[in-house]
Each structure stands twice: as C-alpha cells, then as structure tokens.
Structure 1
C-alpha cells in the first residue's frame, strides 16, 4: 500500500535531501527541486468545489448563469 503524500512528509523529505546535498554534493539537487515542486503543488491545491465557487464569485453579478435546472438539461437543443 502506498502512503499518502502530505505536506509534512514532503517537508521531512526536503530536510533529508538537504542533508544529503550538504554531505554529498549538488548531484542530488534534482531531488530537492522535485520535492520543492511537489510541496508547492500541495500548497496551491484547491478542491474543485472551492475553485468553482471562486470562479463564480469572480464572474460578477452573483446571479446564476444557467438557472435552477441542471447544466446538461439546459444545454440540450
């Protein structure tokens, strides 16, 4: 079973790889780069519902775009 990637696990891995780089040189820098990218991706992540709410809030008037019926029914000819 694969363990879940968490911010804490990435921070721990970054600390470990940082020590390896100090002891063994820059050849391990790509590992640090990748771990830092993954950490930033986790920090940036928003759930789909949160993103949808943000997009609607930015859309403007606050009124619904398609009305009360579901989107599929509204898009049928």
Structure 2
C-alpha cells in the first residue's frame, strides 16, 4: 500500500508518487524530485494551480515550519518553465 500525502496547495490527499516534494534550503524553496533531500518536506501537486495556491496562502512556510520569509521566486520560475 502506497503512502498518502496531502497537497499543501489544494489540500487533497493523493498517493506520494503523484506529488512533488519541496524542501527549504538556504531560505529558498527547492523541488526534491527524488524525495531524498534532508529536512522537512512539503508535498504539492506538480501543477501551476496548486503551486500558486500554496504560495498565495503561504502554505509552504507553515508546512516546512520556517519562521522567516521564503524565496519562492526561483521555485516558481523553474516550475512555470517545466510545468
């Protein structure tokens, strides 16, 4: 049975394999495509709608338990180019 995670963008539950893991490194969001980077991770559908919703609602900061501001610009630009 595959693990289930909740998307921080749309709040829907989905199998782990259908979500993208995102971690914080040096104050910036980084996509963890292989789900092996250290640290706390947040899970999001790899769609512009879910990523934009999570950024707009500041869900990444809460999910990753980061107290300061996160640099989402690089992650957003990379995601829009790929997705």
More strand by share: 2
Q: Which one has a larger percent helix, Structure 1 or Structure 2?
A: 1
Report the structure number with the largest CA radius of gyration.
1
Larger relative contact order (CA 8 Å, sep ≥ 6): 2
Provide the TM-score with structure 2 as the length reference.
Answer: 0.32
TM-score by length of 1: 0.34
